[in-house]
Amino acid sequence: MADKPVYDFGSGCTNPETFPTEALAEAALRAIPRVGEDFTRYPGDLGHLGLRQVMAARESQREGVQVSPEHIVLTNGSMQGVTLVAEALMTGVGEDIVVCEELTYSGTIGAYRRLGLRMEGVALDDEGMCPDDLERVLTSLHKAGTPPRFLYILSTYQNPTGSVMPKARRLAIIDIARRFAVPIVEDNCYADVHFDGDKEPSLYALDPEGTDHIYLCSLSKILGPGVREGYLYARPPMLQRLLERRFDGGNSLLTAAVLAEFFRDRLWDHCAEMNAALKMKRDAVLVGLQESVGDICTWSRPAGGLFIWVHLPADVDLDLLLRLTAERGVRCARGRSFHIHGDDVPNIRLAFGQPTVAQIRAGIPVLGECVRAARVAVGSRHKAAAAG
């Protein structure tokens, strides 16, 4: 068995080949003297003004709505935003419930479990969360006297499925949430990892007067998770409610100052360069899947993000598949990691940010061979389970 995966389709990180090492070093040389003695002080709950201004401009330009830097809170990665929001909206009285897609980001699932939140799942299709099922879930919870604390949703390049919710469905989700008086927590960390077609507007941009929207974003997907820089956007009075739960003294002023300097005049150029390279990788995975398992599998064709969601034949033994891939040096993510209740769905998630195009072209056929070798007749599988 390989000590380290030769073909890493498991890591949800972006492209190391486009990481701007030299440009960031140059930005640090300019930023650090400008901050100077302010490094001896706490940055405050909102964080470095310069980076908040750059991120407010990012959101305003992409979404076409005015975003104030005074409503942006810098966080230590978007996961701090995920947990901070949950802690602020939980009551600790009775059972705290969050409604989310039944398949969602594994890190969020783990965080909510550790916080003691009960997750109620909504069905997804190729266009994301299904409004009819959301209404069913919310109706059931209200009838039971257990309304949820909030709705958590990944509407753009959903992790793990890669789906993008169309505008009409977004408006339907907003309307349902408003009728049930449930705050929307929108995680949009893949917003600028975009390859094809027009961008769909965020939920907060479609409801500019709403005060119960909380928006989460990150620099992990357009730069790297190692920088640990994210932010949340909320308007008063929700903003104050969130800030009341912040006890860490703010995030790194050093990191924020350097990133503000780096992104101020090159954000969109950087995204364009990064996305061109990632698109080549996505396309290489799609070609490899078609050539190796096109007759037995189906998969998503994401217009952005970092993931392809593969639907396996019903007769694939997932335990056997993961053993075979490990032996062949292929790493991928099992579908149940993204199910809020850990159901063993017949899927794997392929992340294409980390491997090179050459590794993708070599590794996907190996994965295809493993999928075929893991196909087990239903009767044989039942016999093996009984023998075990």
Residue 94, pLDDT score: 78
Residue 205, pLDDT score: 95
Nearest CA-CA partner of 361 in 290, 255, 259, 274 = 290
Q: Which domains does the chain have, with CATH numbers?
A: 7-18+269-387 (3.90.1150.10), 23-265 (3.40.640.10)
Binned at pLDDT 50, 70 and 90, residue 266 comes out as: very high
For the residues 203-217, what does the mean pLDDT come to?
90
DSSP class of residue 213? E
Residue 210, pLDDT score: 78
What pLDDT digit, counting tens, does each position of 44-87 carry?
999 999 999 999 999 999 999 999 999 999 999 899 999 999 99
Alpha-carbon distance of 75 to 228, in angstroms, equals 8
Q: pTM (2 decimals)?
A: 0.93
Binned at pLDDT 50, 70 and 90, residue 377 comes out as: low
Residue 328, pLDDT score: 95
Q: In sequence order, which residues have a C-beta less than 8 Å from that of residue 315 and are 6 or more positions away?
A: 375, 376, 377, 378, 381
Average pLDDT over the chain reads 93
Task: Kindly tell me if the per-residue pLDDT of 232 is higher than 90.
Answer: yes
Q: In sequence order, which residues have a C-beta less than 8 Å from that of residue 45 and are 6 or more positions away?
A: 73, 243, 246, 250
Sign of CA dihedral 358, 361, 362, 367: positive
Task: Kindly tell me if the per-residue pLDDT of 227 is higher than 80.
Answer: yes
Which stretch of DSSP H or E encloses residue 110?
helix 106-115
Residue 4, pLDDT score: 62
Residue 85, pLDDT score: 96
For the residues 230-240, what does the mean pLDDT come to?
95
Q: Note whether 352 and 117 are within 8 A (CB).
A: no
What pLDDT digit, counting tens, does each position of 164-177 carry?
999 999 999 999 99
What pLDDT digit, counting tens, does each position of 92-121 carry?
877 899 999 999 999 999 999 999 999 999
Cis status of the peptide bond prior to 201, with omega within 30 of 0? no
More confident residue, 209 or 166: 166
User: Beta strands of 148-229 (E only): which ranges?
Assistant: 150-153, 184-187, 213-218
Determine what percent of the chain is predicted with pLDDT higher than 70.
96
Binned at pLDDT 50, 70 and 90, residue 378 comes out as: very low
Alpha-carbon distance of 345 to 287, in angstroms, equals 24
Which stretch of DSSP H or E encloses residue 386?
helix 378-387
Residue 182, pLDDT score: 97
DSSP 173-194: HHHHHHHTT--EEEE-TTTT-B
Residue 3, pLDDT score: 60
Helix then strand then coil, % of the chain, to nearest 5: 45, 15, 35
Which stretch of DSSP H or E encloses residue 86?
helix 78-89
Q: Note whether 132 and 185 are within 8 A (CB).
A: no
Binned at pLDDT 50, 70 and 90, residue 383 comes out as: very low
What is the number of other CB atoms lying within 10 angstroms of the CB of residue 362? 14
Residue 387, pLDDT score: 44
Q: In sequence order, which residues have a C-beta less than 8 Å from that of residue 239 and are 6 or more positions away?
A: 71, 73
DSSP class of residue 296? T
